[in-house]
Amino acid sequence: MRFKKKILCIGAGYVGGPSMAMIAYKCPDYQVTVVDINSARIDAWNSSQLPVFEPGLDNIVKKTRGKNLFFRTDIENQIKENDIIFVSVNTPTKSYGAGANMAADLQYVEKTARQILKFSQSSKIVVEKSTLPVKTALAMEKILSHAKGKIRFEVLSNPEFMAEGTAIGDLENPDRVLIGSRETKCGLKARSRLVDIYTRWIPQDKIITSNIWSSELSKLVANAFLAQRVSSINSISALCEKTDADINEVAKAIGMDRRIGDKFLKAGIGFGGSCFKKDLLNLVYLCNYYGLREVASYWENVIRINEYQRERFINQILHSMFGTLAGKKLSILGFAFKADTSDTRESPALYITQKLMAEQAEIVISDPRALKNAKFDLAGAKGKVSFIEDPYAAAANSHAVIVLTDWDVYRRLDFRRVYRSMIKPAFLFDGRNILDHRKCFSIGFNVYRIGKPALTHI
Ligand code: NAD
Ligand code: UGA
């Protein structure tokens, strides 16, 4: 079959894989190829055990893989063959040199741009899908401007707004798709070619276009605003605990104001995931770079509150369990950074577990999907830690059960059975406020939650 369009994505990660699978699924007449330098990852994409757990993803990969969706490692060849290239490589926080622990590490993006330049034999549209600091497109353009002969590159910005755990729904029915370009004749032409792809399944009014810098910046700002809401509600949860107000009742009351809205108002142990902290740090770095100290400090506090919330939770465990955790068995329910993903990058559970281990507690970790990553994350950790998928077995003979991920399965646990198997007094710390606290209290647990008074028998 001759395909109408040939699309390449460089980077087969959490974004590259699912977003390209969706394009392939919605556009059966397009050939979509995803490449990566990590051959083990490509092998996994070509196997029955995809490298990313995402509800609904298996289904669309099954329908497209080998037909119009291909996962490959021959990057050089694929750059030659395709004329629209998405760049979806990782952009972690820089860990060395100038801007260490703040700025985005752009080495993977730059290497990709150089590869595109080196192997291209015809003009191409290069689409930034990775999250990048504003003005990165300029660096891409400068590198790509060294093309030989008549080869020209047009750089577009098309940031991805999907969230893990709901990626398939987000990609199929996004709130908006944003495409930024240079406002030149060539830029606008390239932009409309990208719009054409998305209009295959997304209503025109949800596809918005802008200048390239607005697009790059909007992605960082969207994540910063979302993270800010989580920190805002978490800061108020601390006040609720002092005043007998209930954070859920406060969130409901304010969220019903349409100007505020009810999303992202769930108090908990703080946000995790690979992006919120990284993108906030990047925003802070950019503000400082442009001399905007007050603005930088405003956004930096969103991160500070996130750290404060985790510390408060750890201190609550320590103090309510009589000031010592040494030798006590603590069962952690949930290690992923949120429900419905196996991803543990920047998971609050990792930080909390390490702190509890430092108190010489004996840790048992349970998670329906993330145990493989949890084992990897804690491989070098000093102390006693074990991994048991069955939450009942994990909780048996423990002094405390600590809920760190909002998996649905924990809501449905038989807490009478859990209580019977535990050492008394039995403690329950619900870091996600997902359980029926009154019921657990009536069973006999000492229940500690976020932004509400504790329910204790002690
Ligand atoms: P990831 O680490 O899962 O995947 C990136 C992939 O790029 C890796 O497999 C890596 O091997 C590959 N890679 C790096 N350099 C390469 C090169 N030169 N050639 C070929 N492959 C290369 O990262 P991710 O979570 O998919 O995130 C990618 C980008 O998307 C980041 O900028 C992130 O901020 C952004 N983003 C992520 C999410 C998310 O939910 N994870 C959502 C929106 C945006
Ligand atoms: C987030 C954004 O929601 C996406 O739009 C964005 O594309 C993505 O980052 C990215 O750039 O990587 P994600 O990190 O996958 O998506 O998940 P979220 O649902 O945003 O949750 C982030 C963290 O905040 C989780 O730890 C979650 O438990 C926590 N959270 C979220 C709360 O504590 N309370 C809430 O009310 C909402």
pLDDT tens digits for range 150-175: 999 999 999 999 999 999 999 999 99
The model's pLDDT over 54-67, given as tens digits with 9 standing for 90+, comes to 999 999 999 999 99
Under 8 Å CB-to-CB from 431, ≥6 apart: which residues? 268, 269, 313, 348, 352, 402, 403, 404, 450
Record the tokens describing residue 2, joined without a space. 């001759």
- Ligand 1 atom closest to the Cα of residue 115 is 18
How far, in Å, is the centroid of ligand 2 from the Cα of 264?
8
Q: What pLDDT does 389 receive?
A: 98
**Average pLDDT over the chain, rounded to an integer:** 97
CA of 271 to the centre of ligand 2 (A): 7
pLDDT (tens digit per residue) in 291-334: 999 999 999 999 999 999 999 999 999 999 999 999 999 999 99
d(CA 435, CA 449): 9
Please, which pLDDT band fits residue 212 given cuts at 50, 70 and 90?
very high
Instruction: Tell me which DSSP letter residue 104 carries.
Output: B
Residue 284's alpha-carbon distances to 33, 277, 293, 301, 378, in angstroms, are 35, 10, 9, 10, 30
pLDDT score, position 286: 97
3-class SS of residue 45: helix
For tokens 């029955």, name the residue: 48
CA 1 / ligand 2 centre spacing (Å): 40
Query: With 80 as the cut, is the pLDDT of residue 1 above it?
Result: no
Residue nearest to atom 18 of ligand 1 (CA): 112
Collect all residues with Cβ–Cβ distance below 8 Å to 189 and sequence separation of at least 6. Answer: 154
86-123: per-residue pLDDT in tens? Answer: 999 999 999 999 999 999 999 999 999 999 999 999 99
Q: Of ligand 2's atoms, which has the minimum distance to the CA of residue 227?
A: 24
Closest Cα to atom 19, ligand 2: which residue? 163
Quote the ligand 2 centre to 222 CA distance (angstroms): 11
The CA-atom distances, in angstroms, between 178 and each of 11, 87, 151, 257 are 20, 15, 26, 27
Q: Name the phi and psi angles at 193, rounded to 5.
A: -70, -35
The token pair at 96 is 């060395």
CA of 109 to the centre of ligand 1 (A): 10
Q: According to the model, what pLDDT value does residue 2 have?
A: 85
Cβ atoms of 88 and 129 within 8 Å: the answer is yes
Any residues with CB less than 8 A from the CB of 226 and at least 6 apart, and which? 264, 276
Active site residue 440: no
Return d(Cα 452, Cα 242) in angstroms, integer: 9
C-alpha pair distances (Å), 238 with each of 233, 254, 361:
9, 17, 25
Q: What are the pLDDT digits (tens) for 269-294?
A: 999 999 999 999 999 999 999 999 99
Ligand 1 proximal residues by C-beta, below 6 Å: 10-16, 35-38, 41, 75, 88-91, 108, 111-112, 130-131, 160, 162, 164, 274-275
Q: Nearest ligand, CA of residue 305?
A: 2
346 contact partners, CB below 8 Å, separation of at least 6: 272, 273, 274, 276, 277, 278, 337
- Which of 157, 177, 223 should be mutated for ligand 2, with most atoms under 8 A from CB? 223
**Nearest residue to 311 via CA among 370, 269, 266, 267:** 269
Burial label for 19, CB within 10 Å (0-12, 13-18, 19+), is: buried
Pocket of ligand 2 (CB under 6 A): 131, 160-164, 223, 226, 230, 264-266, 268, 271-273, 275-276, 337-338
Helix (H) or strand (E) segment spanning residue 209: strand 207-211
Closest Cα to atom 6 of ligand 2? 161
**Ligand number nearest to the C-alpha of 112:** 1
Ligand nearest to the CA of 87: 1
Q: Give residue-wise pLDDT tens across range 118-148.
A: 999 999 999 999 999 999 999 999 999 999 9
Ligand 2 atom with the shortest distance to the CA of 222: 5
**214: exposed, middle or buried (C-beta count within 10 Å: 0-12, 13-18, 19+)?**
middle
The answer to whether 64 touches 21, Cβ cutoff 8 Å, is: yes
pLDDT for 398: 98
Single out the catalytic residue among 9, 27, 275, 287: 275
